[in-house]
Amino acid sequence: MSNLISKRGVVFLILFTMLALVGMQINFSQVVGSNNQYFTFFQFFGPIAGGFLGVFGVITILFAQLINFFITGKEITIINLLRLTPMLFAAYYFGSNKKAGFSDKFNLIVPILAMLLFWSHPVGQEAWFYALFWTIPIIAKFLPDNLFLRSLGATFTAHAVGGALWIWAVPMTSEQYLLLIPITTFERLLFASGIAFSYIVFTNILNMIDVVWDIKKFVNIEKRYVF
């Protein structure tokens, strides 16, 4: 904790928060079923905060999202606040790359609960097949540690949390969920690729910074991804 609140730690947290805010302003694609909800470029790198800062990365993302929430003047409602949570779970998943301990058990429970919540909705019972996407974060945890699989698990964890909330907040038909399958597949593969790529880029940048400005004390740098 003391390392994170050092001058170097504060600088890193501020820089990542600023980068996250910029990413949230750049729309990538519109969320199906909504006229004013968009996936942004933040989806391509947000979860990596968990890889570098662990739980504090999750807190950093929450802080950045809250700033963006008030800057954009969103109405304070329960559903709008809940929409902040998918990326938090994604970052936690991405930062939990070990195959043992409470953190991984938690990462298995989240998509299971999301599926149950989805299937408890009448439309979710008809479109039960859509929630099978959320078995991906579970399956990934039982496969060899791999950056792309970790990224895929993280983005589908965000999708699971968001999807479980979405079905209760936005009226959609089972036919619409069927049509969403290829779109979801494409988007999440793209997001996972972006997460893995950005993690490698940031890892190498931070490794170069570490040579002249010791930052390993508060930032996790996975040497296996250093060129």
In angstroms, the CA 100 to CA 96 distance is 9
In angstroms, the CA 215 to CA 211 distance is 9
pLDDT digits (tens, 9 = 90+) for 67-106: 988 888 788 888 888 889 999 999 999 998 654 344 678 8
| Residues 165/83, Cβ–Cβ less than 8 Å | yes
- Tokens 């907040």 locate to 169
| Residues 13/164, Cβ–Cβ less than 8 Å | no
Neighbouring residues of 145: CB distance < 8 A, sequence distance ≥ 6: 97, 99
Helix (H) or strand (E) holding 38: strand 38-40
1 is a domain residue: no
227 is a domain residue: no
Band the pLDDT of 189: cuts 50, 70, 90: very high
pLDDT digits (tens, 9 = 90+) for 206-215: 888 877 776 6
Domain count for the chain = 1
Range of the domain at 151: 7-221
Neighbouring residues of 105: CB distance < 8 A, sequence distance ≥ 6: none
102 is a domain residue: yes
pLDDT digits (tens, 9 = 90+) for 113-129: 999 999 999 999 999 99
